[in-house]
Each structure stands twice: as structure tokens, then as C-alpha cells.
Structure 1
Amino acid sequence: MTTTGAWTALSVRHDATSAVRHVAIDNPPLGVLNQIVRRELGDFFLNAQEERRVRCVVFGSGERNFCAGADLREYAMRFDADVARVHVANAHRMVLALVELDTPSIASIRGACMGGGLELAMGCSYRIAAQSATLALPEVNRGAWPGTGGTVLMARLLGPSLTKRLLFTGETLDASTARDMGLVDEVVGDDVLEARTQALAAQIAAQPRTSIQTMARLVDRDFRSLFRAHLQYEAECFVQAYQLPAAREGYEAFFEKRTPRWQQV
């Protein structure tokens, strides 16, 4: 294996003889998303779009998790509207680069796949989960909501009614339930996750690059236009959300290890 790029928050590698590029969040112990991780992931996806030898991207898991969600230590910074605007722009740059990536992407999910981590997985072309995986968009429990395109990414996979249920409750799903709903495409044993992902990636990478990329654009053409427009609207909603009492109550309750008192908001 060879490591590529000067990444500080990502693990990036490829086989010397392979057209498959591997990326995983390298931010132990939980693999949470902070602004550095988001910026580097955006850079990675934009670079992958331009690299002719890369024919498939595997978005893998760290030692314990795919991604446990946002770094809540950055949460309170967003009570400043200017900071919230910078944060959401960085997140949207990242997810848009993934959704508009013509190179096929496979999310290989182990452990926690929560919040922004699930948004990233949903932005990939295909999702394979280990039996141990748990998945959720739990932001409502913090007085917020998924701010990286997750509402429409989930609705695209599940339809509006089931999406609303999961968003409104913040329910955590095991891998088999997520597969049955259509949130992930395959569930395999933890011990074969990497082998199964690599086999599919190799199968895709063996196909003609121009054909694969054209088909990706054709399948996703309408959704990409919709997604860009959605992110523009979502950005303003995101800034406003962190100026409301619910976000502050959710933040304080989390760090005070108590149940939020939503009746106040």
C-alpha cells in the first residue's frame, strides 16, 4: 500500500496496481467530524474527481467507527452567526463534492455511523454495512437537525414518510433494520466487510472509466441540481437554527448529562 497526500485528519491509500482509492477519517477515538476533517474530505473528493487513474473510491471505517458524527466541542461556536455560516459552508463544500463525484463511491460501514457520518454514507453511490454497524440522524436530540444535506439524501433513499419518522425521533438503527428500510444496500459479517467492499470496488474499477462516469452523471443529473438548490436554502436555515433556544438547550443538556427541557423552547 502507498499513502497519498499530506493529510492530517484522513487515512488515504491505494494499491500501486489498483484504480481503487481508499479514504477513512483518522480522528480517534470516535472518528468525529470537525472543520479540519470536513475541509480535507472536500479536498479529497475534489481531487478524486480529477484523477484519471482513480476508478472507484472506498470510504472506509476507522478502527472502531465509520464516523460518530459531529465534534460537539465545535457546537457552541455556532451560536455566533458568522461562525455558523463558515461552518456550514465548509460542510456543504464537502458533501457537494461527494454527491457530484463522477467516480463511484462505496461506503464501507463499521461501528457508529451517526449524524454527519450517515450523511456522508448516504452521499456515496453504494453502502455496505458490517453487522455491528449502528446508524442514526440524532440531531433532534441536540435541538438541531442534519445540516449537511441529510434530509434530502435520506428522503431520496427512503421516501418522505419514513425519513420524517427517523428525523423526528432520532431513532438508532441496527444494520439489518437499516438494510430492510433501504438505508444501506448490503449487510455482511464484520470479518468479511473489507473483503466484500474490495471485491465490489475491484469489479467497478475494471470497467471503462468514461462509461462509468457518464452513467453516474446521467443517473444523478436531476438530483444534483436539486441538491445544489437545497444546500443554498439549508445554509440559511442552519445559521438561524443555532441562534434559537433549542440549540442552546440541547448543547447544555448534553454536556450537563441531563434530559433536555424542551418545554422551555
Structure 2
Amino acid sequence: MSTVKLETTGNIAMLTIISPPANALSSNLLQDLDKRLDEIEADDAIKAIVLKGEGKFFSAGADIKEFTSLQKSSDYQSLSEKGQQLFNRIEAFPIPIVAAIHGAALGGGLELAMACHMRIVTENAKLGLPELTLGIIPGFAGTQRLPHYVGTAKAYEMILTGEPIGGREAYSWGLANIVCDEDSVEEEAMKLAEKIAAKSKLTIKEVMHLVPYAKTEQFTKGIEKEAESFGAIFGSDDAKEGVQAFIEKRKPNFQDK
């Protein structure tokens, strides 16, 4: 069974992440998402996409338990690079993608949301990059995309403390386009998608091609370095302790090595 469902309504595609209980971003889920993007790209009628999560969360992060099955630093670097490649594809996608965020977008979940072109969040949603609380670092371009939205000072604060922010903060900091109540996030995302879908696809496609030029070459260098560092960090004792503590639902005992 696919972990990403695709439905279409007129010129709008709806992608739903279905991986209970937390919609964790496993390798299989990321592959399914990639396949769904292939299907959408092949459909000339689609002008806008809404991406949401089923259940309590948009996505509470990467599949931490999957990390424990990897052995070498190169395995972790490869995992990071694959995630980055997919999220780069999302960011460069010729059809605009609106993320409808409820519950939580944490770690890889927030990195996925940041790769989308627009974000609608609920007031009570939690958005953050908590990787450092596990003794690891973001690996799907979080260190590079977050400063682009909230500025470097707030990015340092969010990443180094690992503490999430709420929907109102996300909106005021520039991370979200719209903040709404819990029951209307999908409706608000569809409204935005409908406004976009009312435009000519020719003009939409050109805008989607042009805006990414605002990104500098430093971004590409930055995500390459992030993947390298992601792999290196996983060789540390603290990373092993942090991940194990997360699985065991206890506080980690870091030794700074």
C-alpha cells in the first residue's frame, strides 16, 4: 500500500501522507512521494498541488528507527543526499505546492514543508528542527532553508535549542503564508490553490521557473556540506546515545564525544 495518496479535483492535485501514527518520513514514503510527483507532472491539467498529512500530524519527522539499521557514515550521508534530492525537486517543481500543516511539522517534516512553495499552518501546530536534542543535526537541507525564511538569528535559535514554534510565530517570522484555526487548514490551502489554478498554466510555469533564480550558489554548497556533516555526526557516541534515548523515551546523557 502506498504511503502517499493522490487525488485530483479539477486542476488541483491533493497529496496525502498516510503513515500512522506520526507520518514519519521513511525511505519508502519518500519514494512514494517521488512517484506521485511523476504522475502529477505527467498530467497537463494540474495547475496547483496541496500536500497534507492524515491523522494527528503533517509529519513529525524522519523515521528515527530506520536510522538504527544503517551502519557506516557513508550510509547516513547517502540517506541525507537522497532526501535533499527529492526536496530540491519539490522546490524546483513546475507546479506550485501548498503545504497544509496541522499538528506538527518537525525535523524532516518541517524540511519537507520548507521545500514546498507556500505553507498554511494551524495556530496550534508545532514547527521545529529538534535534531540536536537527539545528538544529531538536520539532514534534509534544514540548516540551509530555515535561515531563508526566518533569518539567521532565529534559525540559530530554533536549531540550537531544538524547541518548536507555534503557528502564530511561524506566520510572524515569515515561515508560513497563512495561519488559521484547526478545522480550516485544508480549506484555506484549497482556497489558495484555487486562486492559483484560475491563472494560465503558461504564466504559472514561467513564474515557477524564474523565482528559484533568487537562490544563490551558496545554497547548493551548503546542502552538500550538510549531508557530509550529517554522515560524520552519526559516527559519534552522542548520536548513538541520542537516538537510543529517543527510542527508549528518556533524556539523553551526552558526553560531548
TM range (shorter): over 0.9
Query: Aligned equivalents of 2:79 and 2:213: distance in 1?
Result: 27
Query: Aligned equivalents of 1:72 and 1:232: distance in 2?
Result: 21
The match for 1:14 is 8
Identity percentage of aligned residues: 28
In structure 2, which of residues 130, 136, 146 is the aligned counterpart of residue 138 of structure 1? 130
The match for 1:171 is 163
Q: Spell out, residue by residue over 1:28-63, the C-alpha distance to the aligned partner (whole angstroms, 9 max, x if none).
A: 111111110111222333443443211101011212
Give the partner amino acid of 2:68: A
Q: How does 1:17-36 map to 2 (within 5 A)?
A: 18-36=10-28
Q: How does 1:191-210 map to 2 (within 5 A)?
A: 191-210=183-202
In the comparison of the two structures, how many residue pairs are matched? 257
Q: Which runs of 5+ in 2 are unaligned?
A: none
**TM-score for the superposition, normalised by structure 1:** 0.90
- Tell me the secondary structure at the aligned position of residue 108 of structure 1: strand
In structure 2, which of residues 181, 184, 194 is the aligned counterpart of residue 189 of structure 1? 181
Q: Contact (CA 8 Å) 2:81, 2:140: kept in 1 or not?
A: no
The verdict on how the C-alpha distance between 1:97 and 1:22 changes in structure 2, with shifts beyond 3 A counting, is same
The verdict on how the C-alpha distance between 1:256 and 1:60 changes in structure 2, with shifts beyond 3 A counting, is closer
Give the partner amino acid of 2:106: M
Q: What is the deviation of 1:190?
A: 1.6
- Tell me the secondary structure at the aligned position of residue 29 of structure 1: coil
**TM-score for the superposition, normalised by structure 2:** 0.93
Residue 41, structure 1, aligned to residue 33, structure 2: yes
Q: How does 1:205-216 map to 2 (within 5 A)?
A: 205-216=197-208
Q: Which runs of 5+ in 1 are unaligned?
A: 1-6
- Tell me the secondary structure at the aligned position of residue 199 of structure 1: helix
The match for 1:68 is 60
Q: Contact (CA 8 Å) 2:120, 2:179: kept in 1 or not?
A: yes
Segment drifting more, 46-55 vs 139-148: 46-55
Q: Contact (CA 8 Å) 1:110, 1:130: kept in 2 or not?
A: yes
- Tell me the secondary structure at the aligned position of residue 88 of structure 2: helix
The match for 1:112 is 104
The verdict on how the C-alpha distance between 1:128 and 1:173 changes in structure 2, with shifts beyond 3 A counting, is same
Q: What is the deviation of 1:85?
A: 3.6
Give the partner amino acid of 1:114: L
The match for 2:149 is 157
- Tell me the secondary structure at the aligned position of residue 12 of structure 1: strand
